[in-house]
Structure 1
Amino acid sequence: MKRMPFERPTQHYDERILHIDEQICELLKQRKEISNNNPGYPPFEYIEKWSISFGLYEDYLKEVFGAFRSEEFYKPVIEPQGFRKHIPILKSLEYGGFFYSLISVRQYSNASVITFNMDWDITRDHSTHSNIPIYFELYVGEEYDCRMDSGTSTSGHSSHNYVISPPLPDDISGMEFIFRKFKEPFENNLIGTEINEIILRAD
């Protein structure tokens, strides 16, 4: 998803806290490494205790630890440039009343883009699904960065675009496109349903 450039909110900075801010950055790095980049979120009783111990507002600390969980959102964004061609995939999977499909890969000079579709019969009862906000993360291999760029949803159909960088090879035979279900972006726990992954394999 596209982000607006961040503007410095004030020109003031107290240079006396420079060393403290460097220590904060160092501790954030240690926190990420020790937790294998999966720190979770502290129990509220811990936050309440820290609020009292350090004289900080409890709701402020809740926001701070919430922000710690969203580092992935700030990865540099690759904008596809230099369209080259379409590569057909034409793969689908039907499960649990939902029809998942991939039509093609759009190849650019600096990235690839795919559209993941989900269709369902609106006359059937999907109330068990409608109250669960589902976010799909795409995985195609350790060497690729995948991010959801945009999406739309209407009655009986949803469609989401994913940007993959670096670009996929023109020969994608045998590659697997794995869509993992999460309740929200940057969440590390898969939704506890019978099927957590939608796997579509290019022939």
Structure 2
Amino acid sequence: MGWSELRAVPNDYDEEIRAVDTQLIELLNHRKALAKGRRCFPPMVVLKEFEEKSGLKPPYLNWLFHSINGGFHRTRTDGPGELQGILQIMKTTVQEGYQYMITHAMQHEHGSIVHIEIRPQKIDNDSPDFHPRLQLEVTCPDVEYSVHRNGSRGGGGASSMSFLVEPPLPEQLDTVHFALIPFEEPMEFRRREIFLDQEVHFE
């Protein structure tokens, strides 16, 4: 089948949006040329200014700059490679009634899968469900890390998240800093859901 035989996906694209997209492409190319391959992320005070001027919340702004900096570009299609071992991290902090724990990293050949647990300090029958809109940031003076969401799950008053960090984390973490930043994709892809709600009998 040739490209001309493919059916176009219906959408509401028009000339006004095309003009905006043209400007976006020009600005992105200009920014890329200025960055010269560096990771250029605005500091908190500048993000606050952008929030006040644009009305966009920090999760969306962080998503925007993360994507501009190549945060969604993966150089590998074969995953992080073979499992090499487990790195104990055990960093814990408490903020506004929630405990955040970076427990460990599964050390693979080409990357580390960092695991995070989040739970409220007090759990009772009236405790609401919570949904983390966070992205892991890993910084080090000597290494530039790429971080991607690897998975998440929740239930029972707790939430777990994992992130793929490339290149792999070192065994000594003295110069490595971990942080969670607000993060949400404006048009996040949501997978189709299937509800299993039929009786199941085992013989």
TM range (shorter): 0.5 to 0.7
Asked if 2 retains the 8 angstrom alpha-carbon contact of 1:70 and 1:186, the reply is no
1:101 aligns with 2:101: yes
Quote the residue 1:185 is aligned against: 185
Instruction: Say whether 1:30 aligns with 2:22.
Output: no
Q: State the TM-score, normalizing by the size of structure 1.
A: 0.54
Q: How far apart in 2 are the matches of 1:114 and 1:177?
A: 10
For 1:94 and 1:25, the matched residues in 2 are separated by 42
Q: Is the 8 A contact 1:108 1:167 kept in 2?
A: yes
**Per the alignment, in what secondary structure is the counterpart of residue 117 of structure 1?**
strand
Q: Alpha-carbon deviation of 1:144?
A: 0.6
- Alignment match, 1:135: 133
Structure 1 residues 26, 143: CA separation in 2 closer, same or farther (over 3 Å shift)?
Answer: farther
Identity of matched residues, %? 18
Unaligned stretches of 5+ residues in structure 1: 1-7, 14-23, 44-68, 188-203
Deviations 1:65-90 (A, max 9, x none): xxxx9676752264121111111111
Alignment of 1:153-192 (within 5 A): 153-182=154-183, 184-185=184-185
Q: Give the secondary structure class of the aligned counterpart of 2:3.
A: coil
Q: What is the CA deviation profile of residues 97-150 of structure 1, one whole-angstrom value per residue up to 9, with x for unaligned ones? A: 1111011121111001111110113327666x85xx541111112711101111
**Hey, what's the Cα distance between the residues in 2 that align with 1:154 and 1:77?**
33
Would you say how many aligned residue pairs link Structure 1 and Structure 2? Answer: 138
State the match for 1:76 in structure 2. 74
Aligned Cα RMSD in Å?
3.9
SS in 2 for 1:12: helix
| SS, match of residue 80 in structure 1 | coil
Q: Which runs of 5+ in 2 are unaligned?
A: 6-19, 33-39, 42-49, 55-65, 188-203
Q: Normalising by the residue count of structure 2, what TM-score does the alignment of the two structures yield?
A: 0.54
- Contact kept in structure 2, 1:135 and 1:185, CA below 8 Å: no
Query: Which 4+ residue blocks in structure 1 deviate beyond 3 angstroms?
Result: 24-29, 33-38, 69-74, 124-127
Change over 3 Å in CA distance of 1:80–1:104 after alignment to 2: same
- Residue aligning to 2:112: 112
| Aligned equivalent of 1:11, options 3, 9, 16 | 3
Separation in structure 2 between the aligned mates of residue 144 and residue 12 of structure 1, nearest angstrom? 41
1:122–1:155 Cα contact (<8 Å) kept: no
